[in-house]
Amino acid sequence: MKKILSIIALGMCLVSCVDTVILPDDKIVDEDMWQTKSDVSGIVACAYSQLKNEDLQRSLIVWGDFRSDELQLANSVSLTNTTAYVQDLNQVYSLNILPSNSFTNWNVLYSAIHYCNLVIAKARGVISIDPNYTEGDYKADVAKVKALRALCYFYLVRVFRDVPVSTEPYMNDNQERELEQKAPAEVLEMCINDLKEAEVDALLSNTYGDWRDKGYMTRDAIHALLADIYLWRASVNHIDNPAQAKSDYEECVAYCDKIIAAKKDAHTMLRGETEQDYYLADYEDYYNSVFATSLSGRYDRTYYGMNSEESIFEIQYRYYYSVEKTLTTETNPGVLKMYYKFNGSNNGSTPYVVTTVNYGIYSGSTSGTNIFKNEEDVRQNEFIYSANNNSLSQFAVRKFIATSSCNQSVDNTGPDVSSVRPNWILYRLTDVMLMKAEALVALNDLSTPAVSEGEENENDADGTVEDDDDEAEQVDYLQQAFDLVYAVNTRSLPTGSTKTLKFSTYKDRMESLVLYERARELCFEGKRWFDLMRYNYRHISGVKYDKTFAQQGDSYVSNYSDMLTLAMTSKYSSPSVMASKMPTEPYLYWPINSTQMDVNSKLVQNPVWRASSSTERK
């Protein structure tokens, strides 16, 4: 009976999202599950399947996009709607988040972490039982789950900041389950150490020849996550610990370079193709290559629409097996309800969220708040329905929803499918290129020599300070950053366009250029709020990242007003007033869900959010 229950549990992990940990006691784990190679593979699959959970998918959109200037509630979604998600989204929109809000739930991430911990604790024992399970298999599986666990903790730190950490699986009800929160610096250091161990044994991104190359954390994916964590940590330390920040920015650049080199080496040159630094889909094929979800096409190409050549890691909803030549698809209900139809029907219902006018209409100016500044940029038409319709104040999201390219034309049709099957992309090449650009700009800032008033160079008779090497290095940092942005931007313009970016225009505002280019390239992919948080951290001092909020007392660092204004622009009638509702660092993070507070007495709530009949704040 126990073996049957274990098989049922394993099957559920492989074909659907698992909301709770299914292995209830140590007997099932010890006696029945860990006997064969397939048992281990099944629990690894369980860990990754957690990412497909519908609630988590919605949360990834809300955490990463809805809190920023990208998304707002659809006008046709009644503000008096009693649907729980609408009420919760209204709380987020008005910056009055209660701990009961469903988007404060971190259970799915910890469920994935639990499965990862199970593999790390139990898989080695299978080597002595099943001769088909080798030391190499074991190391590869542990690398997969250590990387996934690090990804989960990185999300937890960016969303909640102070979080409990568990590296051991819960085997029975007698184990201590109440854990204290760790400061984010400690959690990120653990993630970095785990990832550096995992990269040694991680599989390459061409191991399987099918969805698994982008559905598991391969070496490229581990390097992308390391680059992301280093960039985040460097941004936090940018002002208060510039030496540590400089080292972390350099690590970010180094890991980005590893990915860029690996992608270049993996590319198969086509007839007549010339060698390039970055092999990106061209202007005409960009959407079909990276985002299309049409079920017609060449399934033997794993990079048709999903798991593209540019891709690094995606949450999988389409399974193409290269050997069996079979394709299985699943609906992505999270994206379906957030970006398409919140009840999944075609009877006039709308998505929960739409994009703001700043993304829907281009400005034609290099300054200003509009994200798209060039009418030739194919991404605006491909990513947004009815782009540049000046009569609209809201625009539906087209990215992930449209099944194929609109052929560089404005698409006024609106969503026309009853189910949506897109993979959710977590890392791809252009993201990495722009992370590197961001790090280079920051390195330029840290390399600018600070000259005190009256300071003189002893070798200069006229009292001027000469540092030609530093000046050359600074210009080189900026030029390298610009070249990366230029490559990403230019592939979205028609061949021969005269409206390409100019270095002279952006030399003195390169940080802004990178921030805007990331918004154009990665919009609606759950990135924007975290980009803005890094921008915020680079401009504030006094951050105590090695301490939890509870350890800091009542004194918290103020947020960067320019970041808050940017985040609120075009989303509220008075963005400066709304920005005033987020004065200090704790407001950037979510409260801990009230249910978690009830079951873990050691948790300390984010100090600015308390449960009550109405939101109370310090």
Q: How confident is the model at residue 222 (pLDDT cuts 50, 70, 90)?
A: very high
Mention every residue, 6+ apart, whose C-beta is less than 8 A from residue 473: 447
SS3 of 487, please?
helix
Q: What is the rounded distance in angstroms from the CA atom of residue 299 to the CA atom of residue 313?
A: 19
pTM for this entry: 0.91
Q: Point out the least confidently predicted range of 42-46, 407-411, 414-418.
A: 414-418
Please check the confidence at residue 164 and state whether its pLDDT lies above 60.
yes
Tens digit of each residue's pLDDT (9 = 90 or more) over 427-477: 999 999 999 999 999 999 999 765 444 444 434 434 344 455 555 666 699
Quick one: pLDDT at residue 301?
A: 44
Residue 226 φ/ψ region, left for φ over 0, alpha for ψ in the -120 to 50 degree band, beta for the rest? alpha
Q: Which amino acid is at 478?
A: L
Ranges 2-11, 52-61, 330-339, most confident = 52-61
Q: What average pLDDT does range 572-588 have in this prediction?
A: 90
Assess contact for 548 and 164: CB atoms under 8 A.
no
> Tokens 């990832």 identify what position?
195
Quick one: pLDDT at residue 305?
A: 67
Q: Point out the least confidently predicted range of 231-240, 515-524, 593-602.
A: 593-602
Q: What average pLDDT does range 202-213 have in this prediction?
A: 91
Tens digit of each residue's pLDDT (9 = 90 or more) over 144-161: 999 999 999 999 999 999
Higher pLDDT pick, 518 / 15 = 518
Quick one: pLDDT at residue 170?
A: 80
Q: Which helix (H) or strand (E) holds 434?
A: helix 429-447
Convert 530-543 to b/e letters by CB count within 10 Å (16 or more is b): bbbbbbbbbebeeb
Please check the confidence at residue 95 and state whether its pLDDT lies above 80.
yes
Quick one: pLDDT at residue 25?
A: 39
Q: What average pLDDT does range 330-346 have in this prediction?
A: 76
Mention every residue, 6+ apart, whose C-beta is less than 8 A from residue 13: 22, 42, 43, 45, 46, 49
Q: What CA–CA distances, in Å, run from 396 to 6, 202, 385?
A: 43, 39, 5
Give 204-237 as a DSSP string: PTTSSSSTHHHHS--HHHHHHHHHHHHHHHHHHH
Cα atoms in the 13 Å half-sphere on the side-chain side of 499: 13
Quick one: pLDDT at residue 469?
A: 55
Q: Point out the least confidently predicted range of 7-16, 100-109, 271-280, 392-401.
A: 7-16
Q: Which amino acid is at 477?
A: Y
Assess contact for 2 and 31: CB atoms under 8 A.
yes
Quick one: pLDDT at residue 418?
A: 56
Structure tokens belonging to residue 513: 């250029």
SS3 of 327, please?
strand
User: What is the average pLDDT value for the chain, to the nearest integer?
Assistant: 86
Q: Any idea what DSSP says for residue 267?
A: P
Q: What is the rounded distance in angstroms from the CA atom of residue 86 to the CA atom of residue 79?
A: 7
Higher pLDDT pick, 45 / 174 = 45
What values do phi and psi take at 215, rounded to 5?
-95, -15
Please check the confidence at residue 362 and state whether its pLDDT lies above 70.
yes
Long-range contacts of the stretch 297-305 (C-beta < 8 A, 24+): 299/325, 299/327, 300/325, 302/209, 302/210, 302/211, 302/213, 302/214
Burial class (CB within 10 angstroms; exposed 0-12, middle 13-18, buried 19+) of 322: middle
Q: What is the rounded distance in angstroms from the CA atom of residue 407 to the CA atom of residue 409?
A: 5
**CA Rg value for the chain:** 24
In the chain, what is the straight-line distance between the N-terminal and C-terminal CA atoms, in Å? 54
Mention every residue, 6+ apart, whose C-beta is less than 8 A from residue 255: 223, 224, 226, 227, 230
Structure tokens belonging to residue 306: 């999903």
Higher pLDDT pick, 215 / 321 = 215
- Residues above pLDDT 70, as percent of the chain: 82
Q: What is the rounded distance in angstroms from the CA atom of residue 411 to the CA atom of residue 402?
A: 10
Q: How many degrees, rounded to 5, is the angle at CA 478 between CA 221 and CA 365?
A: 95
SS3 of 152, please?
helix
Q: What CA–CA distances, in Å, run from 53 to 14, 47, 157, 319, 320?
A: 12, 11, 20, 17, 20
Quick one: pLDDT at residue 452?
A: 41
Mention every residue, 6+ apart, whose C-beta is less than 8 A from residue 49: 13, 14, 16, 17, 18
What values do phi and psi take at 84, rounded to 5?
-55, -40
Q: Point out the least confidently predicted range of 201-205, 344-348, 359-363.
A: 344-348
Q: What is the rounded distance in angstroms from the CA atom of residue 606 to the CA atom of residue 586?
A: 7
Q: What is the rounded distance in angstroms from the CA atom of residue 126 to the CA atom of residue 377?
A: 53
Q: What average pLDDT does range 344-350 have in this prediction?
A: 56
Q: Point out the least confidently predicted range of 163-177, 293-307, 358-372, 515-529.
A: 293-307
